[in-house]
A and B are shown apart, each in its own frame.
Chain A
Amino acid sequence: MEKHSRDEGAAAAQQPSEGIPAPEGPANLIDTDYVIGQDNVTASPLGINLDLHGKVFTFSSLVILFFVIITLALQDQVEPIYNALFSFFTGNLAWFFLLSANIFVVVSVALIFTPLGKVRIGGMHAKPDFSYLGWFSMLFAAGMGIGLMFYGVSEPITHFDTAMGGTAMENGVRTDWAPLGAAAGDESGAISLGMAATIFHWGLHPWGIYAVVALALALFSYNKGLPLTMRSIFYPLLGERVWGWPGHVIDILAVFATLFGLATSLGLGATQATAGLGYLFGVPDTNTTMVLLIMGITAVALVSVVLGVDKGVQQLSKLNMLLAGLLLLFVILVGPTLMIVTGFFENLVSYAVNLPALSMPFGREDANFTQGWTAFYWAWWIAWSPFVGMFIARVSRGRTVREFLIAVLLVPSVVSVLWMTSFGGTAIDQVINEGFEGVREATLELQLFEMLGQLPLSAITSFVGIVLVMVFFITSSDSGSLVIDSITAGGKVDAPKPQRIFWAVIEGAVAIALLLGGGLTALQTAVITTGLPFTLVLLAACYAIVKGLMSEPRA
């Protein structure tokens, strides 16, 4: 009797997806017979429970192992291959990256103003899982983080310098790195152009890229009932075939890009953070310091993934936001306040004015800038988009599409403008008005600290700066581990805990192996080349979003 009814209960729980009720309030579920986790393998070796997508997990692990080994063993041979591949992509396909990124921005901006913006993620009556503050902190910390710390000072200064330098021709080809037509000798023109170029790389385009991936995943997961993995984006194009090999390949590629993207930035970031620690506190700049740093960052990230999205990642992201906000406020108040405030609006205008020219995919004369800066950035953001997009999607349930796009596209862009204006503007001001050359001469990782060194209380602010660098790493590392875990578990977010611990540890281990064995930059180049296939995924996502939203009920 007991046994019998239990079986019935089990059968009821495993019914195929027929007549599935809407999530919360009306939504339009996709009718598929695929049961999430049907291709998963469960086992309990040594008493540890596992629940993994057999093929995606196995092949991802093998691919990761393969790349770590050949990169370590055949460094001199593989580095030129990665580099050649990468320069081929950015050199010959720069127009493709630029054009695609423009499409992503246009699609996401347009959706804000169409009636489709009224669709709510998770069904018409879905309630948000997180507060505005928690939600925004998480998406911002996962999306940009560390780059703002290092490039906030360095990029505006670099573009300002090259723009001041004017254009140079050799055999009819531009050899300078200045954006557009440069602004030779024109100081205010060079500032304006330099800031516009920086904001271009950190503004609407990167966030448009993230928004497209995140929106597509959120829509197909929360409203259409498909698993939260990259492959679901292709459902409108491939139909049931996404559950087979085409889907496996997309997911494996996403794991590759996410894991190596995180591990290489962790490795390179540790090098930069160690340089900062050495500059500030005289900590020896050795491999031991870097390895300890990576282990420390990984340990905190581990605690955070075990505590989960709500109590781990969210809290750290809020802390991150608080520290970044304080540092920003400090620079604005103590730095050239008036210049920053007016500069903010001037830079917004100059961004708007230069945007059409900067984003033009064809007929560009500033090849070095377009290929070396813009196409590089676009490939980089796109390679990160599976990770950031999936994470943003996971925390965005209950928001309307319009709300989502304003928070993922417009607000972070404005924050980036403010950040770049404050940090870059202050550094440029130091060069022009104070004749201080320290920032210009310092290496990339020290420029931020050189700039802060010219302001009061530099011991404190530099310390906050270095803590911020580390917390930014942790918040990327923990959300990345959660994303990889759910992809390799076939879209399950409730796979056993040891799996997310495994991925966080692997990330740190790969970073350490590459740091000691060499090959960090080589493999990072390999990651950026995944930007090309993912550009195709994102273009598919644009189609999927529009098609998916059209079939959703609107409030």
Chain B
Amino acid sequence: MYHTIMVPVDLAHLELLEPSLATVADLARHYDAEVCYVGVTATTPGSVARTPEEYRQKLETFAQERAKVHGQPVRTHLVTSPDPIADLDDLLIEAVDDVDADLVVMPTHPPKHLDVLIPSHGGKVATHTDVSVFLVRPAKQQ
């Protein structure tokens, strides 16, 4: 049903990705889909990488690690931006077409009042693309 799953990855905050990565692995195996890990990074040196090229390599390493986990084919797609924090949503929406994805899986936080002022990235992407978007929330704490 799905052939390419796009997974936006922020290498600086991998801990937030964990629940969605497990979901991605299950879905990819279930649909026998390819997984495309998408990174968005600043052109200036940042905490993960000092150059865009270094970020690209780390993203590739990360994708290969994931391939070992779920056994499905992987690829990566890197987008650079002079102001990634402001452009993130638009860049991800563009990337959906660029990587020819038919499903997006990304983590998001539970809804909160602040979303009115600063909408969540997942919510923004889901309302601006025509492919299916699976927003993964952190597990509820009992």
Contacts and interface: CB of A to CB of B under 8 A. Distances in A.
Interface of A: 1-2, 5-6, 8-10, 12-15, 17, 20-24, 29, 35-38, 40, 46-48, 122-123, 129-130, 221-222, 225-228, 305-312, 394-395, 397, 482, 491-498
A22 B82 contact: no
A10 B51 contact: no
* 4 closest Cβ pairs, A-B complex: A308-B86, A225-B50, A37-B47, A309-B83
A20 B12 CA distance: 17
Most A-side CB within 10 Å, residue of B47, B48, B52: B47
Contacts of A22: 51, 53
Q: For chain B, what secondary structure do more than half of its interface residues adopt (helix, strand, loop), or is it mixed?
A: helix
Given A21-B53, A221-B45, A494-B85, 20 more contacts: A1-B69, A13-B14, A13-B62, A24-B51, A35-B47, A123-B51, A222-B43, A225-B45, A227-B44, A305-B86, A307-B86, A310-B81, A310-B82, A310-B83, A312-B86, A492-B46, A493-B85, A494-B41, A494-B42, A495-B85
Contacts of A308: 83, 85-87
B7 interface: no
Contacts of A10: 14-15
Contacts of A482: 83
A28 to B, nearest CB: 12
Given A6-B18, A493-B85, A498-B118, A221 B44 contact: yes
Given A308-B85, A497-B85, A23 B62 contact: no
Contacts of B126: none
A222 B81 contact: no
A481 to B, nearest CB: 12
Contacts of A228: 44-45
A306 B114 contact: no
A8 B14 CA distance: 11
B130 to A, nearest CB: 22
Contact of B51 (A21, A48, A312): A21
Most B-side CB within 10 Å, residue of A5, A9, A15, A493: A9
B53 A47 contact: no
B65 interface: yes
B54 interface: yes
A267 B108 CA distance: 41
A487 to B, nearest CB: 12
Contacts of B127: none
Contact of B46 (A23, A46, A494): A494
